[in-house]
Amino acid sequence: MATTMGETKPVGNNGTDTASVGGYNEGGAMRRFITPGGHPIDTSQPAFPVFHRKFANPSPLGLLGFAATTFVLSMYNVQARHIATPNVVLGMALGYGGLVQLIAGIEEWACGNTFAATALSSYGGFWFSFATLYIPQFAVAAAYTVPGEFENAVGIYLVSWSIITFIFFIASLRSSVALISLFFFLDITFWCLVGGFLGPSEKAVKAGGAFGILTAAIAAYTALAGLLTRDTSYFLIPVGDLTRK
């Protein structure tokens, strides 16, 4: 039987697919639609609400953990209220700055954000390692019996973190002004503390504390920018986005 242009006939898949005799393959009937949010409509269980699983942004969590712990330690470094012993910060270093920040870094791995995953996990590890220096049960400080040896060892330890932070600073140059400023002032903080421990110099430690407070403020600001979205906030705050459009 002859057919005309545009006429279709059932083919394959038990006749559910169609093909145009004129050469246009129309495929099967569309049974699934995509919502404006990019998710397929799921009506397989009409009695239940439809939930579309997606990852939240873990960066604000990690940044807040970093900001809060850095602020507390920096306040001790400037000897606020005449506090010169930083041991109280160990709780935050283990809990908020260490554990929570490490969890945020692992979540960034799942989200596919290599930079944030590496940075947050690294500084989570920093706070864990820093806490061990002052926990008596680890006997790190007690192992150094020569006067000034422990301070020199901590200074060299901080040099490594200064280098790591500089690497993150270079890697952040196409991110945002807020993030660049964060790593820039954090690197200055570390180098001031390096001078304070290797000197030794109390003024350098205080300078590191002052820059640390500024760094904590920038980290908190960046975290707030990540929490404020058009769906959840009446206003947004700028971060100086430098990403490629």
Measured distance between the N- and C-terminal CA atoms of the chain, rounded to whole angstroms:
56
pLDDT in tens, 10-62: 555 455 454 454 554 555 555 555 655 566 655 555 555 555 557 789 999 99
Average pLDDT over residues 141-149: 95
DSSP helix/strand/coil, 142: helix
CA–CA separation, 239 vs 145, rounded Å?
A: 48
Average pLDDT over residues 230-244: 91
Mapping DSSP onto H, E and C, the string for 181-240 reads: HHHHHHHHHHHHHHHHHHCCCHHHHHHHHHHHHHHHHHHHHHHHHHHCCCCCCCCCCCCC
pLDDT-based confidence at residue 2 (cuts at 50, 70, 90): very low
Q: Using alpha carbons only, how large is the chain's radius of gyration in Å?
A: 28
The reported pLDDT for the residue numbered 49 is 56
Q: What is the pTM of this model?
A: 0.79
Average pLDDT over residues 120-137: 96
Q: How many residues does the chain have?
A: 245
- Does position 183 have pLDDT exceeding 60, yes or no? yes
The reported pLDDT for the residue numbered 84 is 81
Q: What is the DSSP string of 61-78?
A: HHHHHHHHHHHHHHHHHT
The reported pLDDT for the residue numbered 1 is 46
